[in-house]
Structure 1
Amino acid sequence: MIDGERFDPFNNRLCRNVRNALSENFKTVLEQNSMQPVRRVAGFFLNDPLPPYVRTYIDRRLAAYERVLATVRSHGLDHPLDIAVAIWDQRLFFETHEYLEPHWMTAGGDDKKLLQAIIRAAGAYVHLEQGNLTGARRIAAKAVAVLEHYPDRLAPFADPRLLLAKLRSLDPEPPTLAGTAGPVDRPSPTTGRL
């Protein structure tokens, strides 16, 4: 592949605009339980001539968003970490970060630290996808430092040992996080406690 012929939101404005617009509207998809918002924004970009790698990115994102929405619907997911795991497991690391950020901003104490660590873990995989090992290593170390202290808080949602091992080794093959029996009785996300 010739340099510049890959989806690179760090160095290509079109790629960054597409990624940001899709991910922002994906949050609306989850709120409205409808793919319409993201289809609308995808159509805006697809109406113009695009490099093939941008079209491929859009097509793959739309398909992954459909799978996340189907998982959320079929399992009745409503807890932010259950939904984040569903997003992560579709390898939507930027979207995982974007989805969790508002929850992190309103959380406090240990919940805030845990959410920030998961956001950083997703960020590490965003950097790994782009081949930025330095950025991935830096952000993964910050995630690991916090996740090591909260394995019991993460365990109902995802396997903390697997995530920690993958982050420590910077394994480019991201872990699948959904490994628990599924949603269980958990404190409501509106109570301020995860």
Structure 2
Amino acid sequence: MKNQLRFNPFTDRLSRDIRNELSSALALSLKEGSEKPVMTVAQQFLATEPAEIYVAYINERLHRYRKAIESISGKIDDPFLRSFMLWDLELFFEMHEVLEHDWYHATGETKLLLQALIRAAGVYIKLECDLQPQASKIAAKALPVLEAQHDTLAAYFPPERLIGALKSKSLTPPKLLTGY
């Protein structure tokens, strides 16, 4: 049986490099309000003529990144709202990358909630690569804070969507802002 190549940043260096560099470029693109940073990174990887799985990942990410840049750049300063918009685009690693910058400068309950949201995104990052035991451990760390911050989350979306999905170990990430 032929060994099938799979995009997996946990086991494949090129997958990890593409994911990490594109994600960092998205953070910059959101800040600048320009697609240029993500397009530059994408073109650098595409110029190496990688296997189709990498091309497909890059193109799929660019599609979602355009939506994120259009919806967020210059319009949304609230780090929570930004992160929930990225979540609904299923840009979990990118959400982690963007929130991490806000987390560094936060304090108190805000810092704890940002960390819990980073962990919640981490659950779905792990699940994308079939790492259920690791996802469960991360969810267990995120849930107490998310439950304690129920009222803060309720200002954006019904918190049960996220809390329930993490508790039930749902493989399908809930839409937070855009419905069920």
Fold similarity call, TM over 0.5: yes
The alignment covers a number of residue pairs equal to 179
Q: Deviations over 1:90-128 (max 9, x none)?
A: 101000111100111111110011000000000000001
User: Separation in 2 of the partners of 1:3 and 1:21?
Assistant: 26
Residue 43 of structure 1 deviates from its aligned partner by 0.3
Residue 49 of structure 1 deviates from its aligned partner by 1.9
Alpha carbons of structure 1 residues 41 and 90: separation in structure 2 relative to 1, 3 Å? same
User: Separation in 2 of the partners of 1:2 and 1:33?
Assistant: 43
User: Separation in 1 of the partners of 2:22 and 2:158?
Assistant: 28
Please list every run of at least 4 consecutive aligned residues from structure 1 whose deviation after the TM superposition is greater than 6 angstroms: none
For the Cα contact (< 8 Å) 1:159–1:179, is it kept in 2? Answer: no
Amino acid of the structure 2 residue aligned with 1:5: L
Residue 179 of structure 1 deviates from its aligned partner by 4.7
Q: Deviations over 1:18-76 (max 9, x none)?
A: 000000010000000010111001000000121111100000000000011122259x2
User: Separation in 1 of the partners of 2:108 and 2:80?
Assistant: 16
For the Cα contact (< 8 Å) 1:85–1:158, is it kept in 2? Answer: no
Where in structure 2 are the equivalents of 1:70-89 lying within 5 Å? Answer: 70-72=70-72, 76-89=75-88
**Alignment identity in percent?**
40
Residue 3 of structure 1 deviates from its aligned partner by 4.8
* 1:142 alignment partner in structure 2: 141
Alpha carbons of structure 1 residues 4 and 146: separation in structure 2 relative to 1, 3 Å? farther
Amino acid of the structure 1 residue aligned with 2:151: D
Where in structure 2 are the equivalents of 1:145-160 lying within 5 Å? Answer: 145-160=144-159
Segments of structure 1 that go 5 or more residues without pairing to the other structure are 181-194
Where in structure 2 are the equivalents of 1:2-13 lying within 5 Å? Answer: 3-13=3-13
For the Cα contact (< 8 Å) 1:166–1:175, is it kept in 2? Answer: yes
Amino acid of the structure 2 residue aligned with 1:33: G
* 1:49 alignment partner in structure 2: 49
Q: Give the TM-score, by structure 2 length.
A: 0.95
